[in-house]
Structure 1
Amino acid sequence: MRNVNQNEGQPIHRLIAILDDAKKGYLNAAEKIKDEVLSLLFENFAYQKSRYSNELRQLVNRFNFSSSIDQFTLSLLYRTWTDLKATFKLGKRENIIQACIKGEETALENYTAAINQIQNNYEVKVVLEQQVNGIRTVLNTIKEYTGKTGM
């Protein structure tokens, strides 16, 4: 087991925070949306985010990634979560769907940045790339379903 510097660990911790927020967001969306199919999809997506977060936590433990996360990331996550909660309170289907799509697109951007930052750890890159594929599937599922129902 090798020690990794903080620069390699930081993007992983950022992704864990993003995934934890996404899980909360999807559970909230599942509760608020008045579409049974989307509600079930959102619950499944929340479960996926929880699984991904747990996988990354296991990598953190295995590779002794340092646990610090920068204040900017924390404030950004808080602001994003606050915006999403306000959107969900309105309960409008279109707003909830758009918030979920934006959340997935933002997650993909953060994953891409993390993969580019982690240069020398093949195992971590493979896990991140697998999770990216899952996130793309979620994004496509939301877009396809809502496109078929006349969003």
Structure 2
Amino acid sequence: MEHLQKTAAVVEDLVKINNDRIEGYNKARLQTDDLDLKELFDDMVADSKRFTTELNKYLRSLGEERERDSTFAGKLYRTWMDVKVSFGGADRRSILATCEYGEDAAQKSYNTALDHDFLPPEVRQMISEQRMRLKSSHDKIRYLRDLETVNKG
């Protein structure tokens, strides 16, 4: 029973991280006029919505409530995005750099989750697959940010 409660707590944290991503990318989408970034951010929101659905399905199978909240760190991240925009930091490179910061946090959370040896194999598999997809998103954001750095240099 203790392992189920610990597993539920890990899964709840990942739902919160994905809720942070959804809110963060919706905010980032509003900060740019670049259609390619809007499309990319929409894709990332869709991924996180799919991830939260999968994670919440598992929570419900344990008899847990569906998680809808976000993390304190995510709220700080979104506040930082607001501050950057209000001080003129809404250029393409700045938006991408801020998004990469959020992707780094998501990667860290998923890596931490997978460090727990009590996770059942099916949960570990789900988290691993989501982490791979998030890593791909992170790498794409970093590539676009680096491209902006080179183009402006």
What interval of TM-score do these two structures reach, taking the shorter chain for normalisation? Answer: 0.7 to 0.9
> What's the secondary structure of 1:117's corresponding residue?
coil
Q: Which of residues 75, 78, 89 is equivalent to 1:78?
A: 75
Identity %: 18
Cα shift at 1:16: 0.6
Q: Is residue 10 from structure 1 mapped to residue 6 from structure 2 by the alignment?
A: no
Whole-angstrom distance in 1 between the partners of 2:79 and 2:46: 21
2:112 aligned residue: 113
What amino acid is the match of 1:18?
I
Cα shift at 1:99: 1.1
Note the 1:17-36 alignment, pairs <5 A.
17-36=16-35
| Farther off after superposition, 80-89 or 125-134 | 80-89
1:136 aligned residue: 135
Whole-angstrom distance in 2 between the partners of 1:88 and 1:9: 36
| Farther off after superposition, 35-44 or 79-88 | 79-88
Cα shift at 1:3: 8.1
Q: Structure 1 residues 134, 74: closer, same or farther in 2, change over 3 A?
A: closer
RMSD: 2.4
Aligned residues: 146
CA offsets per residue over residues 43-102 of structure 1, 9 Å max, x none? Answer: 11111111111110011112335779xxxx843332223223333444222221111101
Q: Structure 1 residues 88, 128: closer, same or farther in 2, change over 3 A?
A: farther
Conserved 8 A contact 1:9-1:67: no
What amino acid is the match of 1:49?
S
Cα shift at 1:18: 1.1
Where structure 2 has 5 or more consecutive residues not aligned to the other structure, the ranges are none
Q: Structure 1 residues 129, 146: closer, same or farther in 2, change over 3 A?
A: same
